[in-house]
Structure 1
Amino acid sequence: MLKAVLFDLDGTLLDRDQSVELFMNRQYERLYEFLSHIPKEQYTSRFIELDNHGYVWKDKVYQQLIREFHIPSVTWEALLQDYVEDFKHHCAGFPHIHEMLQELKNNGIALGMITNGYGQFQMDNIKALDIEKYFDVILVSEWEGIKKPDPRIFMNALEKLNVEPSESVFIGDHPENDVKAAQNVGMKGIWKRDNQWNNIEADAIIDNYSELPLVLKNLDFNVHSLTK
């Protein structure tokens, strides 16, 4: 019987691509006096390329941007600080996340989140999405001292939720850090489709959270109440 559903954050609940684009456009406008010699589209697209879907921290990204675009009047530290302080104001969630999380809660499913990243930065983004209230457990790698795909962070979350791996599902966009890592501890792994990867081995694949109730039902858990 399904007792818990756990989620990744970036690329899973947070539409990071849209959020980054919104933030970068605003940063360019806000710091136009320092960046005006660079076309906005070029500045934004190069940031996205260097960022590598969030897997490169922004200190390295901004250092590279300053070198490439010859930005003399602002430091990479200042650009990084602007990112840390302002990104949360541009967070965009994927469609239907609130309805989906509420439906799971209404059906007595425990909810958890495991995200890699810096603790306060990730919590600011979670609060910006207004989804913290749905979760029984939220683990951020910096605060835990371990990160996905380490099996210990999954087991820590399950222990806090008081559920067994066989009673749980993990949903994430990364084939190894999310799906495979969850499967390795005995959970079912659902892949939130991300076009940067292909041929992913998962227990199920979703494109939209409106699909989730039926997907959970088809995973052989006794959750018929989740679908109308």
Structure 2
Amino acid sequence: MDKLYTRTRGCLCFDLDGTILNSVQESLKRVIKVAESCSLPIESNIEEKIISGWKKSLGKQDFMFSIWPQEAPDKLQVFMKAWEEMDSSESYEIFPNTKEALEKLCKYFYLGILTNRHLPSVFFQIRKNSLMPLFDFIVTPNWTKTKKPDPKMMIPVFEKCKQAGISEQNIILIGDTLEGDWQLAKNCGLEFYAVLAGGIHTREEFLVAGIPENHIIGSVANLPDKLLISG
């Protein structure tokens, strides 16, 4: 029987986009589609600008200004509203075998989601992929009024884990960005697994940042083999 931790001893805290949701390439298309509908300029390097914003884990407002710094704020607000509405009404697929991995892990770990997405789109995406029963908590900027990598994002996580009898030392973060997920893990002194599936960063970039080779995984589907011991 596979076993490493019981649900009262460890917590796995997952990023959402690029970690559970296979959203990166589809999000690129959506951002450009919404920008065109809002008559925002589409430069030849817009995809590089979008990816750069995601690598930096920018909030949506900073993200918009990083791409269209000369555009009027009112116009960008129209874009943001349309983008959020699309993200709350059109689902992304999850990575292959991710649901099966989460179903295994939730038997032994307390599972949570920690994302810079806002709540309506988080609930929509999780429900559409039938993942809601697998998670014990979800933390978004709606509650923390900040975003990753600010350590304050972890306050609700620490509180939930304390209630479940889980120490901070037994919390593991799983994500796909250096400036958001990895930096948050470092800021809080937490163990971290880097996910390659979303394609935001390469294995080499994670290694250069100081993440051990054995903590870099292809996808969440690899986590049970890393964390569960047969016996």
TM-score by length of 1: 0.71
Q: Residues 92-141 of structure 1: CA distance to partner in whole angstroms, max 9, x if unpaired?
A: 32222211111112x33110111124333333333344322211011102
| 1:187 matched to 2:187 | no
The residue that corresponds to 1:167 in the other structure is: 170
Q: 1:200 to 1:214 in 2, by over 3 A?
A: farther
2:20 aligned to which of 13, 16, 19: 13
- Select which of 22, 38, 61 maps to 2:64: 61
Change (3 A) 1:146 1:16: same
1:17 deviates by 1.4
SS at 1:215 equivalent? helix
Mark the runs of 5 or more structure 1 residues left unpaired by the alignment: 69-74, 217-222
1:97 and 2:98 correspond: yes
Amino acid at match of 2:111: L
Q: Is the 8 A contact 1:147 1:153 kept in 2?
A: yes
C-alpha change, 1:77 and 1:6, in structure 2 (3 Å) is closer
Give, in whole Å, the separation in 1 of the partners of 2:155 and 2:111. 14
Say whether the 8 Å CA contact 1:119–1:143 is kept in structure 2: no
User: In structure 1, the residue corresponding to 2:160 is in which secondary structure?
Assistant: helix
| 2-structure distance, mates of 1:22, 1:185 | 34
Identity of aligned residues (%): 23
TM-score, with structure 2 as normaliser: 0.70
Contact 2:20/2:220, CA 8 A, preserved across alignment: no
The offset of 1:200, in angstroms, is 3.0
2:219 matched to 1:208?
Answer: yes
RMSD: 3.5
Offset at 1:215? 1.9
- Is 2:19–2:220's contact at 8 Å kept on the other side of the alignment? no
- The alignment covers a number of residue pairs equal to 207
- The separation in 2 between residues aligned to 1:44 and 1:110, in whole angstroms, is 44
For the pair shown, which has the larger CA radius of gyration, 1 or 2? Answer: 1
Structure 2 CA distance for aligned equivalents of residues 129 and 166 of structure 1: 30
The answer to which of 186-195 and 52-61 deviates more is 52-61
- In structure 2, the residue matched to 1:71 is none
Letter in 2 for 1:98: K
Contact 1:63-1:76 at 8 Å conserved across structures:
no
Partner of 2:80: 80
- Could you tell me whether the CA contact under 8 Å between 2:49 and 2:66 is conserved in 1? no
Which one-letter code corresponds to 1:99 in the other structure? E
Is residue 229 of structure 2 the alignment partner of residue 224 of structure 1? yes
Q: In proportion to residue count, which structure has more helix?
A: 1
In structure 1, the residue matched to 2:146 is: 146
Q: Distance in 2 between matches of 1:101 and 1:144?
A: 25
